[in-house]
Amino acid sequence: MVHAERPVLVTGAGGFIGGHLVADLVADGFDVRAVDIKPVARWYQVHRAAENIEADLRLRSSAFEAVAGSGSIFNLACDMGGMGFIESNKAACMVNVLIDTHLLEAARDEDLDAFFYASTACVYPSYLQDDPGVTALREGDTYPADPEDGYGWQKLFGERLCKNFGEDYGLPVRVGRYHNVYGPNGTWRGGREKAPAAVCRKVAEAVRSGRREIEIWGDGEQTRSFTFIDDGVRGTRLLAASEVEQPLNIGSSEMVTINELVDLVSDIAGVELERHYDLSAPQGVRGRNSDNTLVESRLGWSPSITLREGLERTYEWVSAEVNRVAA
């Protein structure tokens, strides 16, 4: 049951997933309180129907002000980015624990329908991801713990915080582990972008410049699965509205190599590119894929948008952004 008279709080609302989530909630008629540390003018999406607030949730007072009177909370606030960012900003990623702690403390005093926590596949042990032919990661694979240094440890600690607040105070926590969510209206340049947006940008720049070449981080044989934003939002809302207290994967099981990702985007753009491999660039784990057995059985959820369809929509938007900035 949703408190119709109380707003839904979305933290990190100026970010990629947060902006799409606010759009979906507003479209369904919810009263949304959208909060982000960035000035509203820099949000990826701004929805006039929402209450849009600039606030630093690392500050305890700001977190309590944001939470006050909420009916449910989606905590997506986090200083993070793609592999190039998180491998070089481990301390900054760890400071995100202040956001999680303060929001949970504030939520403890509210009669919430749900407290959704956005976790990540980076919590899974690196020793299970050292081969491109990785076995898909199951929720029970988390321990013994050896997550991504910095960001992965912070998110795993955040999961433990949620678990303990749920057990000690009866807080209805729900934890979703995102696997490489991508799509339009997000970061596509500047070092925080993830692989799909980065590849779309590089291909679009090659098309615009006429230079038929692309740089790839690593040897291109590292594997990943990518989840289109519409599927990610649907999985998020289903989990938040459920009674499932254990963490669940929100990801696609359609695994590809980075070379295959480049193949797809190049084909969408109608170009052939000479590839240059930077073996010194950040690459992350060697292989990662989502096992959706548990989430399908508990929520009846699985992604409905193929990787090619999602990339077509993403490339169209990124290409337009590349041309807009260049113009």
Residues 214/276, Cβ–Cβ less than 8 Å? yes
Q: Which pLDDT score is estimated for 164?
A: 98
Give the tens place of pLDDT for each residue, 4-17. 579 999 999 999 99
Q: Which whole number is the average pLDDT over 306-313?
A: 98
Give the tens place of pLDDT for each residue, 79-94. 988 878 988 899 999 9
Residues 151/197, Cβ–Cβ less than 8 Å? no
CATH of domain 8-181+228-250: 3.40.50.720
Q: At what angle do helices 16-27 and 229-240 cross, to 10 degrees?
A: 70
Residue 238 pLDDT exceeds 90: yes
Q: Which pLDDT score is estimated for 80?
A: 87
Q: Which pLDDT score is estimated for 285?
A: 93
Catalytic residue set = 151
Percent of the chain with pLDDT over 70: 99
Looking at the DSSP bridge assignments, the partners of residue 178 are 120, 250
Residues 311/196, Cβ–Cβ less than 8 Å? yes
Q: Comparing 64-73, 256-265, 276-285, 287-296, which segment has the lowest mean pLDDT? A: 276-285
Q: Which pLDDT score is estimated for 197?
A: 97
Max distance between CA atoms of the chain, in angstroms, equals 60
Q: What's this model's pTM, rounded to 2 decimal places?
A: 0.95
Residues 106/73, Cβ–Cβ less than 8 Å? no
Q: Which whole number is the average pLDDT over 94-117?
A: 97
Q: Which pLDDT score is estimated for 86?
A: 87
**295 phi, psi to nearest 5 deg:** -65, -35
Place of tokens 């007072």: 61
d(CA 236, CA 250): 7
Give the tens place of pLDDT for each residue, 169-179. 999 999 999 99
Which residues in the chain are classed under CATH 3.40.50.720? Answer: 8-181+228-250
Q: Which pLDDT score is estimated for 81?
A: 84
The CA–CA distances, whole Å, from 260 to 51, 134, 159 equal: 41, 16, 33
Which residues in the chain are classed under CATH 3.90.25.10? Answer: 184-225+255-289+305-326
Helical (H) or strand (E) element with 120: strand 115-120
The candidate with the shortest Cα–Cα distance to 201, out of 114, 289, 82, 300, is: 82
| Alpha-carbon torsion, ordered 294, 295, 299, 305, to 10 deg | -140
Sign of torsion over alpha carbons 262, 263, 268, 270:
positive
pLDDT band at residue 242 under the 50/70/90 scheme: very high
d(CA 262, CA 62): 42
Residue 3 pLDDT exceeds 60: no
Q: Which pLDDT score is estimated for 90?
A: 95
Q: Which pLDDT score is estimated for 4?
A: 57
Give CATH superfamily name and number for 184-225+255-289+305-326. Answer: UDP-galactose 4-epimerase, domain 1 (3.90.25.10)
